[in-house]
Amino acid sequence: MGAAAALGALLSRHCLPADDGFTILAGRIAQAAGYDGYCGMAADGNQRRSGEGRLLGLPLDRTALRRVEGLAAPLPDGGIAGWASRPALPAAPPEITLTDACGRRRTIRCRGRLPEDETAPLLPRHRFRIPVRALAGLTPPYALRGPDGTLLMGSPLDPAVLAAIPPSPARHRSGKRLHPVMPQPLAILVPVYRGVAETTACLEALFTAAPPEAKILVVDDATPEPPLAAYLDDLAAAGRITLLRHTENRGFCAAVTTGLAAVRGRDVLPQAAQGHDVLLLNSDTLVPPGAIATLREVAYARPETGSVTPLSNEATILSFPDRQGGNPMPELSQAAALNALARRVHGAASLPIPTGIGFCLYMRHDCIAAAGGFRAEIFAQGYGEENDWCLRAAALGFRHRAALGAYVAHRGGVSFRAAARGLMQRNTELLERLYPGYGAMIRAFTLRDPLRRAREALGEALLAQDDRPAVLLITHSHGGGVARRVAERAAELRGQHFRPLVLATKFPENPDAPYPWPAQLSEDTAPDAGNLVFPLPARLPALLRLLRRLRVRRVELHHTLGHHAAVRGIAQALAIPQDIVVHDYALFCPRISLVARDAPEIRAARPEPGMLTARPAPGTPPRYCGEPGIAGCIACCKHDKSGLFEALPVPALLARSAAELTAAARVIAPSADTARRIARHFPGIRPEVTGWEDDTLPMTLTPPPPGRRRIAVIGGIGPTKGFDLLHACGRDAAIRNLELDFIVIGHSSDDEKLLRTARIFVTGPYREGEAQRLLAEAGVDLAFLPSICPETWCFALTEAWHAGCYTIAFELGAQAERIAASGRGALLPLGLPAPRVNDFLMRWTPPAMPAALPPPRPALQTSC
């Protein structure tokens, strides 16, 4: 049924390909799913049916089938250039119609293609160019539409308007002194297009948060959603809003222009003596009570203030807690709590900013009168129009401020349509053309980060609201099994009435920045958890002061990858106990994973049983090192300096780890295999063994069938996880034409290389909780863990079992320990060549009587 659903969606939204193979396949899928045939639209616009009765593909989505996506941009010489594409028939260049202000029309044909857009590689962009001479006799602005009548992004436009505006430096500020003005009535302007749920939540919150005297003006930009239009009609009929409506979708900028014109006129709102203040509000915001009053207070605190913007989870330079944005949107109750806390911490304090942010922009009446409205003739559907307005206002002597004591929630989000991204790029370039130096000004503001202390004060106050004793979990920010275990551990601590705090590495804005990265303190509860960044060691004293204030009573050291060494001394500095939790072998292996490239000195050491000892050919992939002792480790690091995560020499690393393990209150390992390895390298240390999951819980596994088998390989498959062996297995299956396929549920270090075998398929990365669905959809028969390193636990093994798959792995590490104890799979000798691995995967069946399960392990308990 999955194939039928996919085909039905394809037929309803895309034109039929002229391909006999598709016709045969579509007919077979429709018949197998119980349909009488299928229906689709041909490239000529006519409907094609393969039969009568119940047809797969109906009803056809004619809007999607006719939709044209594209972009128009003004040229410096007064012409127009752009591109267009029809997603339902991407290979065919669409016809574009240009209509001038008097209704005169011209047909524009696309000629040639633009280079491929990496963000939308399957959408060819057919380019067009309209020279200025072709516009002779026409009256601007010019509207460019596809066959479905939809405006291209960037139109209507008038290239002559832009050409007539002289550039003004972005940092230009008028020396004009402004005088205090009297507060004026407030109009709240909400442009609306889509999203009935978001708009409803926005307006219902606004009815509570708005001052009684404020007027709410909604501009319906020709919404295509009848329930949203009906909801707005009901509100207008009840007198709760003033509703204006466009007859066609013209974009956010035009909707604001319509609203501002209504505010300045006399027909819609009662005229104020000096005009209205305007609060411009996106329809995907939640305004808590009190926020508008703070914005208004800040707006009139200084005579030169032209606009005020609050903090938000998604507000570019005013985002909180993470200033880079992308913070989850809080619920209204959480937003109200954050707003109240911001007001308590900051009051009506504010800071100057280079530009306001349009999601929630308080615009003072005198600034609107001086600077005018938004310029839809330049910025079209929108993006950058509020920045243009702010810069024009600044040139007239007005300033823009961030209200530190106000917080408004904002859903935000980035459009994935190529035309929307193109409009953003186009308008960014227009801003730079109009205001040279604008981009540099914003970058300088971001680098200076004058809001850092305000964010920190709010973040500290947020964390300090909880007075439970806290446990600090020190970890990295690279995800994987460590992140999963830390999240589970945090949940366990909350159940034991402790408060988990996480100190992780903060990803830098430059992803190539070397270690150490700053440390980021956060609480993993809900979207409004504060996060505070501490570059170490410079801000270690501030971090320690805060941890004392937050009543941290114990430290769990999970991982220090990417951290400054100063984090290792936090527990000692606070004089509290520290537990060391073992997730890998960083305590004694500079490579962390016990996987290395071959060197004669390493081979000379005595390997563990199962380790290959024959000298490999040049270019042999990495392999398990066998833990050869100090001399072998030194030789390994000297032989291959790549992939080293620890700068300390091996003897110094071992000495530091021995001291930390000895001083630790507890050393915790998830498997007996891991505990034995730690004890062997550090005599006298006896880790507590506590499995991350309970392998004694009953599970129903399905034996693999005879015949062709599909093998699941779960997780991120890099060199240590057996990438090279997996690739060799795929090649062998293809060369010998075996009835064997592999599907990587996740990703690899080189997906393309695996796919070229034609026997290995890759789903791509998945989010936490998605693996079971992907495994079920893939229809796998057996799981294989090709990892060549001794795992300390292996969550991928648990995922395989939960999906009902017996699992094959090498006789190494926790993966071998768990499979041997449970009988839920089989073990192979480490180093078995790919053909023999494939032979085993094709013929193995589980024994009739599984092994007895180990006794359940108790949950880890914490005391402070």
Among the candidates 689, 719, 740, a domain finishes at: 689
Among the candidates 520, 555, 581, a domain finishes at: 581
Do residues 200 and 231 lie in contact, with contact meaning Cβ atoms separated by under 8 Å? yes
Do residues 670 and 692 lie in contact, with contact meaning Cβ atoms separated by under 8 Å? yes
**Domain co-membership, 817 together with 674:** no
Among the candidates 661, 689, 717, a domain finishes at: 689
Mean pLDDT, contiguous 10-residue spans, the chain (864 residues): 85 91 92 94 92 94 92 93 94 94 95 83 90 94 91 92 86 76 95 96 98 96 96 98 94 94 73 80 98 98 98 96 90 97 98 97 97 92 94 95 98 74 92 95 95 95 94 94 94 95 88 88 62 92 97 98 96 98 96 79 44 46 90 89 87 97 98 98 96 94 95 96 97 98 97 96 91 94 98 97 97 97 97 97 85 56 64
**Domain co-membership, 544 together with 625:** no
Token pair of 182 as six digits: 């009297």
Q: Which contacts of 1-6 are long-range, i.e. CB under 8 A and separated by 24 or more positions?
A: 1/33, 2/777, 3/29, 3/32, 3/33, 4/29, 4/30, 4/32, 4/33, 4/35, 4/56
Token pair of 728 as six digits: 């060799």
CATH code at 300? 3.90.550.10
What's the rounded Cα separation, in Å, for the pair 846 and 852?
14
Residue 700 lies in a domain: no
**Domain co-membership, 438 together with 483:** no
Query: Which amino acid belongs to residue 852?
Result: A
pLDDT attached to residue 84: 95
734: exposed, middle or buried (Cβ count in 10 Å: 0-12, 13-18, 19+): middle
Residue (of 805, 828, 809, 848) closest to 705 by Cα position: 805
What's the rounded Cα separation, in Å, for the pair 379 and 157?
8
Residue 617: which residues within 8 A CB-CB, separation 6 or more? Answer: none
* Three-class SS state of 600: helix
pTM: 0.83
Residue 80 lies in a domain: no
**Domain co-membership, 448 together with 478:** no
Residue 799 lies in a domain: yes
**Domain co-membership, 205 together with 341:** yes
Do residues 808 and 704 lie in contact, with contact meaning Cβ atoms separated by under 8 Å? no
What 8-state DSSP symbol labels residue 579?
E
HSE at residue 54, side-chain half, CA atoms within 13 A, is 6
Q: Omega before 516 cis (within 30°)? A: yes
**Domain co-membership, 479 together with 406:** no
Residue 458 lies in a domain: no
**Domain co-membership, 424 together with 566:** no
What's the rounded Cα separation, in Å, for the pair 54 and 39?
10
**Number of separate domains in the chain:** 5
pLDDT attached to residue 606: 40
pLDDT attached to residue 565: 96
Tell me which residue has tokens 């937050």.
550
Residue (of 714, 738, 708, 739) closest to 726 by Cα position: 714
> What Cα–Cα distance (Å) separates residue 417 from each residue in 358, 423, 568, 616?
21, 10, 46, 50
> What Cα–Cα distance (Å) separates residue 60 from each residue in 45, 49, 408, 470, 768?
12, 12, 41, 57, 35
Strand intervals (E) in 523-577: 531-534, 552-557
Residue 198 lies in a domain: yes
* Three-class SS state of 267: coil
Token pair of 815 as six digits: 């993966």
> What Cα–Cα distance (Å) separates residue 416 from each residue in 319, 419, 423, 424?
22, 9, 12, 12
Residue 742: which residues within 8 A CB-CB, separation 6 or more? Answer: 710, 711, 712, 713, 726, 729, 730, 733, 759, 760, 761, 784
> What Cα–Cα distance (Å) separates residue 108 from each residue in 405, 423, 523?
52, 20, 56
HSE at residue 267, side-chain half, CA atoms within 13 A, is 7
For helices 418-434 and 385-395, the axis angle rounded to 10 degrees is 10
387: part of which helix (H) or strand (E)? helix 385-395
In this structure, the strands spanning 126-130 and 215-220 are unpaired
Do residues 522 and 620 lie in contact, with contact meaning Cβ atoms separated by under 8 Å? no
Residue (of 507, 473, 470) closest to 322 by Cα position: 507
How many other C-beta atoms lie within 10 A of the C-beta of residue 742? Answer: 25
**Domain co-membership, 340 together with 429:** yes
Token pair of 729 as six digits: 């297995």
Residue (of 305, 349, 350, 365) closest to 183 by Cα position: 365
**Domain co-membership, 747 together with 679:** no
CATH code at 729? 3.40.50.2000
Token pair of 134 as six digits: 């072709």
Do residues 292 and 298 lie in contact, with contact meaning Cβ atoms separated by under 8 Å? no
Domain that holds residue 757: 709-843
CATH code at 543? 3.40.50
**Domain co-membership, 252 together with 367:** yes
**Domain co-membership, 271 together with 359:** yes
Residue 89 lies in a domain: no
Handedness of CA 761, 764, 768, 769 (dihedral sign): negative
Tell me how far the alpha carbon of residue 629 is from its chain's centroid.
Answer: 43
Do residues 34 and 60 lie in contact, with contact meaning Cβ atoms separated by under 8 Å? no
Residue 785 lies in a domain: yes
What's the rounded Cα separation, in Å, for the pair 87 and 13?
9
Do residues 438 and 432 lie in contact, with contact meaning Cβ atoms separated by under 8 Å? yes
What's the rounded Cα separation, in Å, for the pair 807 and 798?
10
Residue 849: which residues within 8 A CB-CB, separation 6 or more? Answer: none
**Domain co-membership, 56 together with 204:** no
Handedness of CA 664, 670, 676, 681 (dihedral sign): negative
434: part of which helix (H) or strand (E)? helix 418-434
- H/E/C letters for each residue in 653-717? HHHHHHHHHHHCCEEEECCHHHHHHHHHHCCCCCCEECCCCCCCCCCCCECCCCCCEEEEEEEEE
Residues linked to residue 215 through DSSP beta bridges, in sequence order: 187
What's the rounded Cα separation, in Å, for the pair 456 and 342?
11
Token pair of 275 as six digits: 């005009």
Residue 564 lies in a domain: yes
